[in-house]
């Protein structure tokens, strides 16, 4: 109705038009007529239109010009050039809101910082190589939102920016640690490996070592990750692929205390991290306290000395025990029935496979030497890891063996049992808090799963130089840092979700739904304007949880 009145009035006097004004995140329309006076163009304001978004004002503008067109007209509304918009815009805004861009550099407007933000957000949404991400410029507004119009040059906007990012890794991690790891805190630490394919003969870090992905014959790197007790990552480092688990611990503790200025800390690491050798090295470090777990032989040694009894392990209550030989340590006896059942079943299967193979050798009638028979037995025991349960001997090429049932029963008693230890005083952490702290290491394992596999896809690693490999790993860590915050913000969505076949939401599904919000060129009677698709109800709910408002 407003448009019709304005258009009729335009025929009687000076031509009326709608001028669209933008103010911060909103826009409005000024209804004006223009005329000449003494050779100058002047304007008269007749009113303003508010409450409409930019695209609706565009349509009103066209209507005032008399350009309203039926839908079936050849000159009706058309769209072209649709690009993914919602996920890129939302995740970039969240990254800025949590201060990630300023953690990277104090002047986030620098183009290399924007490039890094594109690679971090791109790792969350698209994964793949830097080249494939740079070629996404036709499909997404990600690079456009980060200041790059048109084709992206992978060398300038990825590789060079990665080099700049790596130069600032220490400063960035110091800022993240200061923000998320307070003085007197607990830090969680673990390492993993990532294997490579192809030749890396000039690399100093791609080496053969113990492969945690069970990829034999593949060179690898070792990656260390520091998180706070909630699992928020604060630092990462790449080590040579042949670095043992425990060798990195002392360096990480020194780094936390000296480089990041954390004087008082509680360091939680698993059995492979906090070895006896490391405990000796760290016992005189001021302000350091440890939380870890005992190995199987260490548990058996305590049992043999009478410090513990197997009957003390309880699946409901944590039992605290002190040892007079190590009065500064507190031991916490725990039991997990699910783990106990799994370990028992696994052992029975391995023993069954072992005995079947040994029976075949025992019943063989071929004449062979003692050495050959012993070698066959050794390979079987090595394969199934059941040698401690088998008593065997070879005489004149004939195998004789028996199963040590007492050892099997003794081993069964310890299934699911584990002992956590700490030198943190009881008035600082009670037994439940210590156990909870150790179990928090699962947050680091979750971080590695997200970084290495489907969600962020650390590998395959396409870079050939050591510094680019380090920069790539660092980008993956920063992407997980962003993802960690996104998941916390989306927690109400996941918590309210259904179960089993009624479950709808995963993090990947959130990305897909936001990605369906497109930016496209709208064309109406040769007038072009940008159009962002209106979010549906579930998309609007996600944006609200992320505290992101799409521009008008």
In this predicted model, what pLDDT tens digit does every residue of 475-487 receive, in sequence order? 999 999 999 999 9
- The angle at the Cα of 410, spanning 328 to 438, to the nearest 5 degrees, equals 35
pLDDT of 257 strictly over 80: no
Q: Are 335 and 313 in contact (CB under 8 A)?
A: yes
Q: Are 226 and 252 in contact (CB under 8 A)?
A: yes
Which pLDDT score is estimated for 288?
86
For residue 536, what are the contacts with CB-CB under 8 A and spacing of at least 6?
none
Question: From residue 156, how far is each of 112, 125, 128, 131, 414 by CA, in Å?
Answer: 9, 21, 18, 11, 58
Q: How many CB atoms lie within 10 A of CB 156?
A: 14
Mean pLDDT of the chain: 86
Which pLDDT score is estimated for 71?
55
pLDDT of 506 strictly over 80: yes
Any idea what DSSP says for residue 24? T
Which pLDDT score is estimated for 8?
40
pLDDT of 524 strictly over 90: no
pLDDT of 522 strictly over 80: no
Q: Are 391 and 402 in contact (CB under 8 A)?
A: yes
Global pTM reads 0.78
Domain ranges of the chain: 1-68, 338-413
Q: Are 320 and 330 in contact (CB under 8 A)?
A: yes
With H, G, I as helix, E, B as strand and everything else as coil, classify residue 52: coil
pLDDT of 2 strictly over 50: no
pLDDT of 121 strictly over 90: yes
Which pLDDT score is estimated for 483?
95
Q: How far apart are CA 353 and CA 78, in angstroms?
A: 69
pLDDT of 326 strictly over 90: no
Phi/psi at 111 (nearest 5 deg)? -65, -35
- The total number of residues written for the chain in this structure: 552
Any idea what DSSP says for residue 140? B
Q: How far apart are CA 282 and CA 418, in angstroms?
A: 23
Q: How far apart are CA 124 and CA 484, in angstroms?
A: 11
- The CA R_g of the chain, rounded to the nearest whole Å, is 33
Average pLDDT, integer, range 116-127: 95
Q: What percent of the chain has pLDDT over 70?
A: 93
Find the range with the poorest average confidence among 58-62, 149-153, 314-318: 58-62
Burial zone of 21 (CB within 10 Å; 0-12 exposed, 13-18 middle, 19+ buried): exposed
Banded model confidence at residue 542, pLDDT cuts 50, 70, 90 = very high
Average pLDDT, integer, range 180-193: 80
């Amino acid at each position: 109705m407003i448009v019709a009145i304005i258009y009729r009035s335009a025929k009687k006097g000076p031509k009326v038009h709608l001028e669209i004004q933008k103010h911060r995140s909103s826009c409005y329309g000024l209804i004006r007529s223009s005329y000449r006076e003494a050779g100058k163009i002047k304007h008269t304001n007749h009113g303003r239109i508010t409450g409409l978004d930019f695209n609706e004002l565009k349509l009103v503008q066209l209507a005032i010009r008399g350009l309203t067109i039926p839908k079936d007209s050849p000159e009706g509304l058309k769209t072209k050039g649709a690009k993914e918009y919602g996920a890129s815009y939302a995740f970039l805004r969240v990254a800025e809101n949590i201060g990630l861009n300023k953690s990277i550099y104090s002047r986030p407007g620098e183009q290399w910082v924007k490039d890094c933000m594109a690679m971090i957000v791109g790792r969350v949404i698209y994964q793949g190589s830097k080249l494939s991400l740079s070629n996404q410029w036709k499909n997404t507004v990600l690079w456009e939102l980060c200041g790059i119009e048109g084709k992206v040059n992978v060398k300038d906007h990825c590789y060079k920016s990665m080099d700049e990012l790596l130069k600032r890794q220490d400063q960035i991690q110091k800022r993240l640690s200061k923000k998320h790891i307070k003085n007197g805190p607990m830090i969680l630490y673990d390492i993993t490996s990532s294997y490579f394919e192809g030749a890396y003969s000039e690399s100093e870090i791609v080496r053969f070592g113990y492969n945690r992905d069970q990829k034999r014959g593949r060179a690898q790197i070792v990656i260390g990750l520091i998180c706070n007790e909630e699992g928020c990552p604060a630092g990462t480092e790449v080590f040579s692929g042949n670095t043992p688990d425990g060798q990195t611990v002392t360096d990480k503790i020194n780094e936390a205390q000296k480089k990041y200025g954390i004087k008082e800390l509680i360091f939680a690491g698993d059995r492979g991290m906090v070895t006896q050798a490391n405990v000796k090295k760290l016992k005189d470090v001021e302000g350091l306290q440890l939380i870890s777990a005992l190995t199987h032989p260490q548990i058996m040694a305590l049992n043999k000395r009478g410090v513990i009894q197997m009957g003390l392990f309880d699946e409901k209550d944590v039992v605290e025990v002190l040892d007079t030989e190590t009065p500064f340590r507190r031991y916490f006896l725990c039991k997990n029935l699910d783990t106990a059942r799994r370990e028992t079943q696994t052992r029975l299967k391995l023993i069954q496979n072992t005995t079947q193979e040994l029976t075949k050798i025992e019943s063989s009638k071929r004449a062979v030497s003692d050495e050959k028979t012993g070698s066959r037995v050794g390979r079987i025991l090595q394969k199934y890891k059941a040698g401690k349960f088998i008593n065997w001997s070879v005489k004149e090429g004939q195998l004789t063996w028996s199963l040590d049932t007492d050892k099997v029963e003794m081993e069964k008693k310890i299934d699911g049992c584990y002992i956590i230890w700490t030198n943190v005083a009881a008035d600082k952490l009670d037994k439940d808090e210590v156990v909870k702290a150790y179990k928090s290491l699962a947050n680091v394992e979750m971080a590695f799963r997200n970084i290495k596999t489907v969600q962020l896809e650390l590998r395959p690693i396409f870079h050939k130089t050591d510094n680019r490999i380090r920069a790539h790993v660092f980008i993956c860590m920063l992407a997980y840092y962003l993802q960690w915050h996104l998941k916390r913000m989306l927690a109400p969505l996941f918590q309210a979700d259904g179960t089993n076949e009624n479950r709808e939401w995963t993090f990947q599904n959130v990305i897909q739904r936001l990605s369906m919000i497109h930016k496209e060129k709208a064309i109406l009677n040769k007038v072009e304007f940008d159009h962002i698709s209106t979010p549906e109800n579930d998309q609007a709910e996600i944006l609200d949880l992320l505290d992101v408002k799409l521009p008008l």
